[in-house]
Amino acid sequence: MTRTRHRRDHGLQLLAATAMLVLAAFGHAKAQEGETDPSAVIRIGSLYEPQNLDNTAGAGQGINEAFNGNVYEGLFQLEDSGEVVPKLALDYQMSDDGLTYTFTLQPDVTFHSGDPLTSADVKYSIERVVAENSKSSRKKSLSTIAGIETPDDRTVVVKLSERSISLPYNLTYVWIVNDKATDLTSGEDGTGPYRLDAWRRGSSISLVPFDDYWGDAPANSGVTFNYFTEATALNNALLTGAVDIITSVQSPDSLAQFQDNPAFVVEEGQSTTKEVLAYNDRVEPFSNVKVRKAIARAIDRQRLLSSIWGDYGTLIGSFVPPTDPWYVDLTNVDPYDPESAKQLLAEAGYADGFTFTLETPNYDPHPIVAQFVQSELAKVGIKVNINIITANEWYTKIYQAHDFQATLQEHVNHRDIVFYGNPDFYWGYNNPKVVELIASSETSASEAEQVEKLKEANRIIAEDAASGWLYLYPQIVVSSAGVSGYPVNGLNSQFFAYGITKRAE
């Protein structure tokens, strides 16, 4: 079923989803009855340690989880509900032609170093995201910014070369940093409710409340993100009380330990995390659309999803999850059909198959997924060699150097179809029609026009089998029963910690 075929149907679904989340939150709140301990430090378990502390320097999704909204803030914030709300921007105005945005900053905001927030800091922060050496995945989304003016300390004027209907949304990815800050890869100077206490590499990041925070103080006395390299150890940490909460369960087999156990609460939210079999579309044989479609049809994605996640998770036929406004159900574009896959391989000149290397991150569930893909493709004559690599190696070899044939990766971002409009992105997909649709969607005069263009781009990407979209992760958060107030949707892998409370012992 196409969820966004009719705006009324889509609205009803959003209302239903919202109602479910409200009911879940209410049920969780009831489960947490009792006095909370404001002196509690919340211990958070995660598999995603940042590579560094700067989200413009290839830090990975872990830095978003720990720092976004907690240590750093933007002019706007993407809430856990998916709503974009002003944050450091008190208000803003857009000119009639859509080319000038004027932002007024919140008053009396200070950085953790004690410096006041000014328009110069905002200008500096935006410019570092769009700078030539920036590694921000959202750099291209802000490329329409032609100039930034700072007429006074609380006013920022952004000039665009063309309309950008998503500018407030795109600015949620820009952390406002002190323009006097030095090394942001190992330190920080943000405006958020927490400041960095310590980063113990390979182990943890601890945050403590910032006493001079301009907004509401955190509901706890700090948080510690504890990092694990594999899911079993993470689950054991929760079982033994070493952590209070797991941000996103990556080992579905472990859920049985927590379900129907009064000592724990299991919450399922709305996921944007896609398990992607990404090809290097620049190189043979993956430059051939028939080969890519053959691979899609050779993999029984439903069986893969069930084997990994049981009854959790969702099949997707493109990079766009149901929570994006331009979602279209495309799961039947290249359905499981091994005989059709063999025929397509023959038409592409690979009747006898071929061999390729699948670069596989060394953390769950990628190694298991790689073995499944290897087994499935062997049935149609394709031999897969699996090369296990670390997260650091993945970033330098795949993302930076584009030195690969195919890889597995989870993509966590909300509204990230834009990556397929960038031929320089690591997978190298380059369809001029898609590039044009994605680019022109930003200049749309209305959201309805933007949605229609991106739906069309979505369909083309799916027909081209630009990548292999294996499944949409479930978003499952598990906590000790005494913990509440945490986000459940994890959009863009962010995990707001300031509302989390722990029941007094």
pLDDT confidence bin for 9, thresholds 50/70/90: very low
pLDDT confidence bin for 4, thresholds 50/70/90: very low
Query: Looking at residue 441, what is its pLDDT?
Result: 93
Task: Evaluate the omega torsion of the peptide bond into residue 285 and state whether it is cis, within 30 degrees of 0.
Answer: yes
Query: Looking at residue 323, what is its pLDDT?
Result: 83
Q: What is the dihedral of CA 421, 424, 428, 429, to 10 degrees?
A: 20
Query: Looking at residue 182, what is its pLDDT?
Result: 87
Question: Are the CB atoms for 415 and 169 separated by under 8 Å?
Answer: yes
- Which of helix, strand or coil describes residue 17? helix
Cβ atoms < 10 Å from Cβ of 217 = 12
Query: Looking at residue 126, what is its pLDDT?
Result: 97
**Ranges assigned E (strand) in 60-187:** 76-78, 84-86, 89-94, 100-105, 145-152, 155-160
Token pair 């069930």 in the structure block, residue: 306
The per-residue pLDDT for range 475-500, each reduced to its tens digit, is 899 999 999 999 998 787 899 999 99
Residue 260 has pLDDT above 60, yes or no: yes
Query: Looking at residue 26, what is its pLDDT?
Result: 35
| pLDDT, mean of residues 252-277 | 88
Q: What is the dihedral of CA 196, 201, 203, 209, to 10 degrees?
A: 0
Query: Looking at residue 23, what is its pLDDT?
Result: 36
More confident residue, 6 or 478: 478
The per-residue pLDDT for range 151-185, each reduced to its tens digit, is 999 999 999 999 999 999 999 999 999 999 988 99
Query: Looking at residue 33, what is its pLDDT?
Result: 57
Cβ atoms < 10 Å from Cβ of 406 = 24
pTM: 0.74
Query: Looking at residue 365, what is its pLDDT?
Result: 87
Residue 127 has pLDDT above 70, yes or no: yes
- DSSP letters, 188-216, are ----SSEEEEEEETTTEEEEEE-TT-SSP
Separation of alpha carbons 169 and 150, rounded Å: 21
Pick the range with the lowest mean pLDDT from 10-24, 141-155, 447-461.
10-24
Cβ atoms < 10 Å from Cβ of 474 = 22
415: left (phi over 0), alpha (psi -120 to 50) or beta: left
For 78, the token pair is 């993407």
The per-residue pLDDT for range 384-423, each reduced to its tens digit, is 999 999 988 999 999 999 999 999 999 988 888 989 999 9
Residue 7 has pLDDT above 70, yes or no: no
Do the bridges between strand 145-152 and strand 155-160 make them parallel or antiparallel, or are there none, so unpaired? Answer: antiparallel
Element (H, E) at 390: none
Separation of alpha carbons 457 and 421, rounded Å: 9
pLDDT confidence bin for 505, thresholds 50/70/90: confident
Residue 376 has pLDDT above 70, yes or no: yes
- Which of helix, strand or coil describes residue 450? helix
Residue 1 has pLDDT above 70, yes or no: no
The per-residue pLDDT for range 135-155, each reduced to its tens digit, is 887 788 898 999 999 999 999
Residue 377 has pLDDT above 90, yes or no: yes
User: What is the maximum alpha-carbon separation in the chain?
Assistant: 68
Average pLDDT, the chain: 90
More confident residue, 134 or 437: 437
Query: Looking at residue 248, what is its pLDDT?
Result: 85
381: left (phi over 0), alpha (psi -120 to 50) or beta: left
